[in-house]
Structure 1
Amino acid sequence: MRILMVLAHPLEDSFAASVARLAKETLEGRGHTVDMLDLYREDFDPRLTMAERGSYFSERYDAQASGCIARLKAADGLVLVFPQWWFNFPAILKGFFDRVFAPGVAFEHDPAGGRIIPRLGNIRLFWALTSTGSPWWVVHLYMGNPVRRLLKRGIAAFCAKGLDFRMLALHDMDRATEGKRKRHLERVRALVSRI
Protein backbone atom coordinates (compact mmCIF):
# COMPACT_ATOMS: atom_id res chain seq x y z
CA MET A 1 0.00 0.00 0.00
CA ARG A 2 1.19 3.52 -0.75
CA ILE A 3 0.65 5.81 2.24
CA LEU A 4 0.78 9.60 2.20
CA MET A 5 1.85 10.61 5.70
CA VAL A 6 1.26 14.27 6.51
CA LEU A 7 3.16 15.68 9.49
CA ALA A 8 2.08 19.05 10.88
CA HIS A 9 4.43 20.22 13.63
CA PRO A 10 7.03 23.02 13.47
CA LEU A 11 9.64 21.29 15.67
CA GLU A 12 11.76 18.50 14.23
CA ASP A 13 12.30 17.02 17.71
CA SER A 14 8.61 17.11 18.69
CA PHE A 15 6.64 14.14 19.96
CA ALA A 16 4.56 14.33 16.76
CA ALA A 17 7.77 13.96 14.72
CA SER A 18 8.69 10.90 16.83
CA VAL A 19 5.26 9.40 16.14
CA ALA A 20 5.66 10.05 12.40
CA ARG A 21 9.14 8.49 12.31
CA LEU A 22 7.97 5.40 14.17
CA ALA A 23 4.86 5.01 12.00
CA LYS A 24 6.93 5.44 8.82
CA GLU A 25 9.56 2.89 9.92
CA THR A 26 6.86 0.41 10.94
CA LEU A 27 4.96 0.77 7.66
CA GLU A 28 8.10 0.48 5.54
CA GLY A 29 9.17 -2.53 7.61
CA ARG A 30 5.92 -4.21 6.61
CA GLY A 31 6.54 -3.53 2.91
CA HIS A 32 4.45 -0.39 2.43
CA THR A 33 5.65 2.72 0.61
CA VAL A 34 5.47 5.93 2.63
CA ASP A 35 5.49 9.38 1.04
CA MET A 36 6.34 11.70 3.96
CA LEU A 37 4.87 15.17 3.52
CA ASP A 38 6.27 17.28 6.34
CA LEU A 39 4.31 20.50 5.87
CA TYR A 40 6.78 22.67 7.79
CA ARG A 41 9.95 21.21 6.26
CA GLU A 42 8.44 21.57 2.78
CA ASP A 43 7.41 25.16 3.60
CA PHE A 44 3.76 24.56 2.77
CA ASP A 45 1.84 27.83 2.60
CA PRO A 46 -1.54 27.25 4.30
CA ARG A 47 -3.10 30.44 2.96
CA LEU A 48 -5.73 30.03 0.29
CA THR A 49 -4.78 32.77 -2.17
CA MET A 50 -7.18 35.16 -3.87
CA ALA A 51 -6.47 33.45 -7.18
CA GLU A 52 -7.16 29.99 -5.75
CA ARG A 53 -10.43 31.11 -4.15
CA GLY A 54 -11.43 32.95 -7.31
CA SER A 55 -10.98 29.74 -9.35
CA TYR A 56 -12.09 27.37 -6.57
CA PHE A 57 -14.70 25.58 -8.65
CA SER A 58 -12.76 25.57 -11.93
CA GLU A 59 -10.02 23.21 -10.73
CA ARG A 60 -7.03 25.54 -11.17
CA TYR A 61 -4.29 25.15 -8.57
CA ASP A 62 -0.87 26.69 -8.07
CA ALA A 63 2.32 24.59 -8.30
CA GLN A 64 2.53 23.88 -4.56
CA ALA A 65 -1.08 22.74 -4.24
CA SER A 66 -0.81 20.78 -7.51
CA GLY A 67 2.21 18.88 -6.18
CA CYS A 68 0.36 17.95 -2.99
CA ILE A 69 -2.74 17.00 -4.98
CA ALA A 70 -0.66 14.65 -7.16
CA ARG A 71 0.77 13.01 -4.03
CA LEU A 72 -2.71 12.60 -2.53
CA LYS A 73 -4.07 11.07 -5.74
CA ALA A 74 -1.13 8.63 -5.89
CA ALA A 75 -1.85 7.32 -2.37
CA ASP A 76 -3.94 4.38 -1.22
CA GLY A 77 -4.02 5.65 2.35
CA LEU A 78 -3.62 8.86 4.31
CA VAL A 79 -2.05 9.07 7.78
CA LEU A 80 -2.13 12.46 9.49
CA VAL A 81 0.25 13.17 12.37
CA PHE A 82 -0.37 16.37 14.31
CA PRO A 83 -1.01 17.91 17.73
CA GLN A 84 -4.38 19.40 18.58
CA TRP A 85 -4.15 23.07 19.51
CA TRP A 86 -7.21 24.77 20.96
CA PHE A 87 -9.24 21.63 20.17
CA ASN A 88 -8.47 21.97 16.48
CA PHE A 89 -5.89 21.36 13.77
CA PRO A 90 -2.66 23.33 13.55
CA ALA A 91 -3.25 26.17 11.05
CA ILE A 92 -0.86 24.60 8.52
CA LEU A 93 -2.92 21.38 8.46
CA LYS A 94 -6.18 23.30 8.13
CA GLY A 95 -4.61 25.16 5.20
CA PHE A 96 -3.60 21.80 3.68
CA PHE A 97 -7.26 20.73 3.75
CA ASP A 98 -8.40 24.10 2.36
CA ARG A 99 -5.93 24.10 -0.53
CA VAL A 100 -5.59 20.38 -1.38
CA PHE A 101 -8.98 18.86 -0.51
CA ALA A 102 -10.59 21.12 -3.09
CA PRO A 103 -13.53 20.66 -5.48
CA GLY A 104 -12.54 18.45 -8.36
CA VAL A 105 -9.91 16.74 -6.21
CA ALA A 106 -11.49 15.47 -3.00
CA PHE A 107 -15.14 16.08 -3.81
CA GLU A 108 -17.52 17.72 -6.22
CA HIS A 109 -20.91 19.27 -5.78
CA ASP A 110 -23.92 17.53 -7.24
CA PRO A 111 -25.15 19.83 -10.04
CA ALA A 112 -28.70 19.33 -8.75
CA GLY A 113 -27.59 20.94 -5.49
CA GLY A 114 -27.03 20.00 -1.92
CA ARG A 115 -25.12 16.77 -2.11
CA ILE A 116 -21.33 16.40 -2.06
CA ILE A 117 -19.92 13.62 -4.21
CA PRO A 118 -16.67 12.01 -2.92
CA ARG A 119 -13.78 11.95 -5.42
CA LEU A 120 -10.97 10.31 -3.43
CA GLY A 121 -11.84 6.75 -4.38
CA ASN A 122 -8.17 5.84 -4.22
CA ILE A 123 -8.02 6.48 -0.45
CA ARG A 124 -8.98 3.32 1.44
CA LEU A 125 -7.41 4.21 4.78
CA PHE A 126 -7.68 7.53 6.64
CA TRP A 127 -5.95 7.59 10.02
CA ALA A 128 -4.99 10.35 12.45
CA LEU A 129 -2.22 10.00 15.02
CA THR A 130 -2.54 12.96 17.33
CA SER A 131 -2.03 14.39 20.79
CA THR A 132 -3.82 16.95 22.89
CA GLY A 133 -2.79 18.92 25.95
CA SER A 134 -6.18 18.38 27.57
CA PRO A 135 -7.26 15.35 29.58
CA TRP A 136 -9.53 12.77 27.94
CA TRP A 137 -12.63 13.94 29.80
CA VAL A 138 -12.23 17.55 28.61
CA VAL A 139 -11.80 16.50 24.97
CA HIS A 140 -14.61 13.94 24.95
CA LEU A 141 -17.16 15.02 27.55
CA TYR A 142 -16.82 18.79 27.59
CA MET A 143 -15.77 19.54 23.98
CA GLY A 144 -17.38 16.56 22.22
CA ASN A 145 -14.12 15.49 20.50
CA PRO A 146 -14.32 18.11 17.71
CA VAL A 147 -11.23 16.99 15.76
CA ARG A 148 -12.48 13.42 15.45
CA ARG A 149 -15.91 14.69 14.35
CA LEU A 150 -14.41 17.00 11.73
CA LEU A 151 -12.12 14.31 10.35
CA LYS A 152 -14.56 11.40 10.35
CA ARG A 153 -17.95 13.01 9.63
CA GLY A 154 -16.67 15.92 7.57
CA ILE A 155 -13.48 15.43 5.63
CA ALA A 156 -13.29 11.62 5.41
CA ALA A 157 -17.00 10.97 4.84
CA PHE A 158 -17.37 13.71 2.24
CA CYS A 159 -14.23 12.80 0.30
CA ALA A 160 -14.10 8.98 0.20
CA LYS A 161 -16.45 6.04 0.65
CA GLY A 162 -15.96 2.83 2.58
CA LEU A 163 -12.62 3.75 4.06
CA ASP A 164 -10.96 2.58 7.26
CA PHE A 165 -11.03 5.59 9.61
CA ARG A 166 -9.13 5.55 12.88
CA MET A 167 -7.85 8.14 15.29
CA LEU A 168 -5.38 7.46 18.06
CA ALA A 169 -4.74 10.28 20.52
CA LEU A 170 -2.44 10.81 23.46
CA HIS A 171 -4.39 12.97 25.91
CA ASP A 172 -2.95 15.26 28.60
CA MET A 173 0.28 15.55 26.59
CA ASP A 174 1.47 18.57 28.58
CA ARG A 175 1.77 16.41 31.68
CA ALA A 176 2.68 13.09 30.04
CA THR A 177 5.60 11.30 31.66
CA GLU A 178 8.33 9.64 29.63
CA GLY A 179 6.69 6.30 30.45
CA LYS A 180 3.30 7.44 29.20
CA ARG A 181 4.85 8.72 25.95
CA LYS A 182 6.69 5.41 25.44
CA ARG A 183 3.50 3.42 26.03
CA HIS A 184 1.71 5.59 23.48
CA LEU A 185 4.47 5.00 20.92
CA GLU A 186 4.01 1.25 21.46
CA ARG A 187 0.26 1.68 20.81
CA VAL A 188 1.15 3.54 17.60
CA ARG A 189 3.51 0.74 16.53
CA ALA A 190 0.90 -1.95 17.27
CA LEU A 191 -1.88 -0.10 15.43
CA VAL A 192 0.22 0.74 12.37
CA SER A 193 1.47 -2.87 12.23
CA ARG A 194 -2.09 -3.92 11.34
CA ILE A 195 -2.00 -2.07 8.03
Structure 2
Amino acid sequence: MKTLVIYTHPNHQSLCHAFLQKTIQGLSENDHVEEVQVVDLYAETFDPLLVFNERKRRRDMHRDPELETYRNQLLWADKIVFVYPIWWGRPPAMLLGYIDRMFASNFAYRDNGGLLPEGLLKGKTVVCVSTMKGPPLYPLFWLNNAHKTLMRKALFRYVGIRKVTFFEFGHMEKPQGKQQKKLERIYRYFKAVAT
Protein backbone atom coordinates (compact mmCIF):
# COMPACT_ATOMS: atom_id res chain seq x y z
CA MET A 1 0.00 0.00 0.00
CA LYS A 2 1.53 3.28 -1.16
CA THR A 3 0.47 6.09 1.17
CA LEU A 4 0.47 9.83 0.62
CA VAL A 5 0.15 12.02 3.74
CA ILE A 6 -0.92 15.63 3.20
CA TYR A 7 -0.28 17.78 6.26
CA THR A 8 -1.77 21.26 6.63
CA HIS A 9 -0.80 23.30 9.69
CA PRO A 10 1.63 26.24 9.89
CA ASN A 11 3.09 25.32 13.29
CA HIS A 12 5.37 22.32 13.75
CA GLN A 13 5.01 22.65 17.53
CA SER A 14 1.26 22.09 17.29
CA LEU A 15 -0.76 19.11 18.43
CA CYS A 16 -1.74 18.65 14.81
CA HIS A 17 1.94 18.06 14.03
CA ALA A 18 2.06 15.47 16.81
CA PHE A 19 -0.78 13.66 15.02
CA LEU A 20 1.28 13.79 11.82
CA GLN A 21 4.24 12.22 13.63
CA LYS A 22 2.07 9.43 15.08
CA THR A 23 0.59 8.82 11.63
CA ILE A 24 4.05 8.45 10.11
CA GLN A 25 5.27 6.28 12.99
CA GLY A 26 2.30 3.92 12.64
CA LEU A 27 2.67 3.69 8.86
CA SER A 28 6.41 3.01 9.17
CA GLU A 29 5.66 0.00 11.41
CA ASN A 30 2.88 -1.38 9.19
CA ASP A 31 3.80 -4.42 7.09
CA HIS A 32 1.10 -3.56 4.54
CA VAL A 33 2.71 -0.19 3.74
CA GLU A 34 5.15 -0.24 0.86
CA GLU A 35 6.15 3.43 0.85
CA VAL A 36 5.08 6.75 2.42
CA GLN A 37 5.37 10.23 0.94
CA VAL A 38 4.59 13.33 3.02
CA VAL A 39 3.49 16.70 1.65
CA ASP A 40 3.67 19.59 4.14
CA LEU A 41 1.72 22.31 2.33
CA TYR A 42 2.94 25.19 4.52
CA ALA A 43 6.58 24.07 4.59
CA GLU A 44 6.55 23.66 0.81
CA THR A 45 4.88 27.08 0.46
CA PHE A 46 2.21 25.54 -1.73
CA ASP A 47 0.35 28.31 -3.55
CA PRO A 48 -3.38 27.77 -2.85
CA LEU A 49 -4.55 30.54 -5.17
CA LEU A 50 -6.62 29.38 -8.10
CA VAL A 51 -5.93 31.67 -11.07
CA PHE A 52 -7.73 31.76 -14.42
CA ASN A 53 -6.81 34.29 -17.09
CA GLU A 54 -5.79 34.47 -20.75
CA ARG A 55 -2.65 32.44 -20.01
CA LYS A 56 -4.12 29.99 -17.47
CA ARG A 57 -7.41 28.59 -18.67
CA ARG A 58 -9.63 26.50 -16.46
CA ARG A 59 -9.91 23.72 -19.03
CA ASP A 60 -6.11 23.30 -18.89
CA MET A 61 -5.82 22.96 -15.09
CA HIS A 62 -5.22 19.20 -15.32
CA ARG A 63 -2.01 19.92 -17.28
CA ASP A 64 -0.63 22.81 -15.20
CA PRO A 65 3.15 22.13 -15.12
CA GLU A 66 3.48 23.76 -11.68
CA LEU A 67 1.36 20.95 -10.21
CA GLU A 68 2.80 17.94 -12.02
CA THR A 69 4.64 16.57 -8.97
CA TYR A 70 1.50 16.84 -6.84
CA ARG A 71 -0.63 15.16 -9.53
CA ASN A 72 1.86 12.30 -9.78
CA GLN A 73 1.73 11.84 -5.99
CA LEU A 74 -2.07 11.56 -6.03
CA LEU A 75 -1.98 9.07 -8.90
CA TRP A 76 0.77 7.05 -7.21
CA ALA A 77 -1.02 6.70 -3.85
CA ASP A 78 -3.33 3.85 -2.89
CA LYS A 79 -4.25 5.63 0.36
CA ILE A 80 -4.36 9.40 0.90
CA VAL A 81 -4.19 10.68 4.48
CA PHE A 82 -5.07 14.28 5.31
CA VAL A 83 -3.93 15.71 8.68
CA TYR A 84 -5.30 19.17 9.46
CA PRO A 85 -7.16 21.32 12.01
CA ILE A 86 -10.80 22.28 11.69
CA TRP A 87 -11.07 26.07 11.71
CA TRP A 88 -14.49 27.72 11.50
CA GLY A 89 -16.09 24.34 10.91
CA ARG A 90 -13.99 23.43 7.88
CA PRO A 91 -10.42 22.61 6.79
CA PRO A 92 -7.87 25.44 6.52
CA ALA A 93 -7.91 27.66 3.43
CA MET A 94 -4.50 26.24 2.47
CA LEU A 95 -5.95 22.73 2.19
CA LEU A 96 -9.06 23.96 0.39
CA GLY A 97 -6.76 25.75 -2.07
CA TYR A 98 -4.86 22.50 -2.64
CA ILE A 99 -8.17 20.77 -3.33
CA ASP A 100 -9.30 23.55 -5.69
CA ARG A 101 -6.12 23.31 -7.73
CA MET A 102 -5.49 19.56 -7.62
CA PHE A 103 -8.90 17.94 -8.05
CA ALA A 104 -9.36 19.31 -11.56
CA SER A 105 -11.56 18.17 -14.41
CA ASN A 106 -9.87 15.55 -16.63
CA PHE A 107 -7.55 14.64 -13.77
CA ALA A 108 -9.78 13.82 -10.78
CA TYR A 109 -13.08 13.54 -12.67
CA ARG A 110 -14.47 13.68 -16.19
CA ASP A 111 -17.81 15.16 -17.23
CA ASN A 112 -19.82 12.52 -19.04
CA GLY A 113 -23.14 14.26 -19.59
CA GLY A 114 -24.80 12.54 -16.62
CA LEU A 115 -25.97 13.87 -13.29
CA LEU A 116 -22.57 13.09 -11.73
CA PRO A 117 -19.22 12.91 -13.50
CA GLU A 118 -16.98 9.89 -13.86
CA GLY A 119 -14.60 9.78 -10.90
CA LEU A 120 -11.03 9.21 -12.09
CA LEU A 121 -9.52 8.42 -8.68
CA LYS A 122 -11.47 5.20 -8.11
CA GLY A 123 -9.91 2.49 -5.97
CA LYS A 124 -8.11 4.86 -3.61
CA THR A 125 -9.00 5.22 0.05
CA VAL A 126 -8.84 8.33 2.23
CA VAL A 127 -8.35 8.98 5.94
CA CYS A 128 -8.99 12.45 7.41
CA VAL A 129 -7.38 13.17 10.80
CA SER A 130 -8.55 16.50 12.16
CA THR A 131 -8.29 18.41 15.42
CA MET A 132 -10.49 21.16 16.82
CA LYS A 133 -10.81 23.32 19.89
CA GLY A 134 -14.56 22.72 20.31
CA PRO A 135 -16.35 19.66 21.66
CA PRO A 136 -16.24 16.44 19.62
CA LEU A 137 -19.95 16.50 18.74
CA TYR A 138 -19.98 20.20 17.77
CA PRO A 139 -19.73 19.53 14.00
CA LEU A 140 -22.53 16.96 14.14
CA PHE A 141 -25.11 18.82 16.21
CA TRP A 142 -24.30 22.47 15.55
CA LEU A 143 -23.07 22.35 11.95
CA ASN A 144 -25.13 19.41 10.62
CA ASN A 145 -21.95 17.45 9.93
CA ALA A 146 -20.83 20.04 7.36
CA HIS A 147 -17.16 19.05 7.53
CA LYS A 148 -17.75 15.36 6.80
CA THR A 149 -20.38 16.14 4.16
CA LEU A 150 -18.00 18.52 2.40
CA MET A 151 -15.13 16.06 2.36
CA ARG A 152 -17.03 12.80 1.78
CA LYS A 153 -19.78 13.84 -0.63
CA ALA A 154 -18.78 17.10 -2.26
CA LEU A 155 -15.17 16.04 -2.86
CA PHE A 156 -14.19 12.39 -2.53
CA ARG A 157 -17.35 10.73 -3.83
CA TYR A 158 -17.34 13.19 -6.75
CA VAL A 159 -13.89 11.97 -7.83
CA GLY A 160 -14.68 8.29 -7.31
CA ILE A 161 -13.26 7.67 -3.82
CA ARG A 162 -15.82 5.71 -1.81
CA LYS A 163 -13.94 4.58 1.30
CA VAL A 164 -13.33 7.57 3.61
CA THR A 165 -12.48 7.27 7.31
CA PHE A 166 -12.69 10.24 9.69
CA PHE A 167 -11.01 10.95 13.01
CA GLU A 168 -12.36 14.25 14.40
CA PHE A 169 -10.70 14.99 17.73
CA GLY A 170 -12.34 17.70 19.83
CA HIS A 171 -11.38 19.54 23.03
CA MET A 172 -7.77 19.56 21.87
CA GLU A 173 -6.88 22.74 23.77
CA LYS A 174 -8.24 21.52 27.11
CA PRO A 175 -5.82 20.18 29.74
CA GLN A 176 -8.13 17.17 30.17
CA GLY A 177 -8.53 16.64 26.40
CA LYS A 178 -6.99 13.14 26.49
CA GLN A 179 -4.50 14.16 23.85
CA GLN A 180 -2.05 11.33 24.53
CA LYS A 181 -4.79 8.72 24.33
CA LYS A 182 -5.95 10.13 20.99
CA LEU A 183 -2.40 10.23 19.63
CA GLU A 184 -1.96 6.58 20.56
CA ARG A 185 -5.24 5.73 18.86
CA ILE A 186 -3.95 7.22 15.59
CA TYR A 187 -0.63 5.41 15.94
CA ARG A 188 -2.39 2.06 16.48
CA TYR A 189 -4.79 2.64 13.59
CA PHE A 190 -2.03 3.37 11.07
CA LYS A 191 0.15 0.57 12.37
CA ALA A 192 -2.63 -1.95 11.64
CA VAL A 193 -4.60 -0.54 8.67
CA ALA A 194 -4.48 -2.85 5.64
CA THR A 195 -6.38 -0.98 2.91
Deviations 1:141-185 (A, max 9, x none): 111121111111121111124x421000111222253x6110110
Alpha-carbon distance between aligned partners in 2 of 1:96 and 1:15, rounded to the nearest angstrom: 22
- The answer to which of 6-15 and 183-192 deviates more is 183-192
Partner of 2:82, secondary structure, is: strand
| Greater relative contact order structure (CA < 8 Å, 6+ sep) | 2
TM-score normalized by the length of structure 2: 0.90
Q: Cα 1:104–1:97, aligned 2, differ >3 Å: closer, same or farther?
A: same
Structure 1 unaligned segments of length 5 or more: list them: none
Which residue matches 2:52?
A: 50
Among all aligned residue pairs of Structure 1 and Structure 2, give the percentage whose two residues are the same amino acid: 24
Partner of 1:175, secondary structure, is: coil
- The answer to which of 56-65 and 179-188 deviates more is 56-65
Task: Return the offset for 1:53.
Answer: 9.5
RMSD (CA atoms) = 1.9
Pairing 1:48-127 to 2, within 5 Å after superposition: 48-51=50-53, 54-110=56-112, 112-123=113-124, 125-127=125-127
- The answer to whether 1:174 aligns with 2:176 is no
Task: Return the offset for 1:64.
Answer: 3.1
Query: Do 1:73 and 1:122's aligned partners in 2 also have CA atoms closer than 8 Å?
Result: no
Which residue matches 1:14?
A: 14
Structure 2 unaligned segments of length 5 or more: list them: none
Q: Cα 1:191–1:176, aligned 2, differ >3 Å: closer, same or farther?
A: farther
- Count of aligned pairs between the two proteins: 191
Q: Cα 1:164–1:176, aligned 2, differ >3 Å: closer, same or farther?
A: farther
TM-score normalized by the length of structure 1: 0.90
Q: Cα 1:143–1:67, aligned 2, differ >3 Å: closer, same or farther?
A: same
Query: Do 2:110 and 2:118's aligned partners in 1 also have CA atoms closer than 8 Å?
Result: yes
Alpha-carbon distance between aligned partners in 2 of 1:174 and 1:58, rounded to the nearest angstrom: 43
Q: Of Structure 1 and Structure 2, which has the larger fraction of its residues in helix? A: 1
Task: Return the offset for 1:87.
Answer: 0.3
Alpha-carbon distance between aligned partners in 2 of 1:142 and 1:88, rounded to the nearest angstrom: 13
Query: Do 2:9 and 2:85's aligned partners in 1 also have CA atoms closer than 8 Å?
Result: yes
Q: Cα 1:54–1:90, aligned 2, differ >3 Å: closer, same or farther?
A: same
Partner of 1:126, secondary structure, is: strand
Q: Cα 1:53–1:36, aligned 2, differ >3 Å: closer, same or farther?
A: farther
